[in-house]
Amino acid sequence: MKLLNILFCLLLLILWSSCKVSTPAEEKSNLYQVGGCQGNAFLKPNVVDTCFIYQFRENLILDFCVNGNCCPDSNRFDLRSNRTDDLITITVADTAANLCRCFCKYKIHAEFDGLSRSRYRVKCYVGDELLYDQWVEGED
């Protein structure tokens, strides 16, 4: 009976040590707002901006647009990213909403280095709102 318990414990130890836990990859990204206002933003309900452009060779470079208040027109967003498996999540927080009565379109630039996969799903959020949900594929 003791031998059976020892073998069972040994089997559990082998199975436990072979499990792979998915952890977020080391973050190698650069995100920033490009210039100031890129033009007037006319906020219409249920209209999605198609300003999502990417290039994916050695690294992933992407640009996308967000709408926001026009005051101030620079350094107004808190930008963060997270990468887990094949998902890249970018969050944009507007740090100066409702200061003026005008709205602008702003361009956000992001670069990701050291990607091990050739295909990623990119989700961009402004606050809690999902703005973009796109698959990007590497060029051969």
Beta-carbon contacts of residue 3 (< 8 Å; ≥ 6 apart): none
Say what the pLDDT of residue 22 is.
40
Query: Model's pTM, two decimal places?
Result: 0.72
60 membership: H or E segment, kind and range: strand 60-69
For residue 93, the tally of other CB atoms under 10 A from its CB is 13
At 12-43, the pLDDT tens digits run 444 444 444 343 445 478 999 988 888 776 65
Beta-carbon contacts of residue 36 (< 8 Å; ≥ 6 apart): 73, 74, 104, 106
Tell me the mean pLDDT in the region 9-14.
43
The position carrying tokens 């670069």 is 111
- Dihedrals φ, ψ of 11, to 5°? -65, -45
- Dihedrals φ, ψ of 107, to 5°? -100, 130
Q: Look up residue 21 and give its amino acid.
A: V
At 116-131, the pLDDT tens digits run 999 999 999 999 999 9
Say what the pLDDT of residue 8 is.
46
At 41-95, the pLDDT tens digits run 665 544 555 689 999 998 999 999 998 888 876 778 999 999 999 999 999 998 8
Say what the pLDDT of residue 42 is.
62
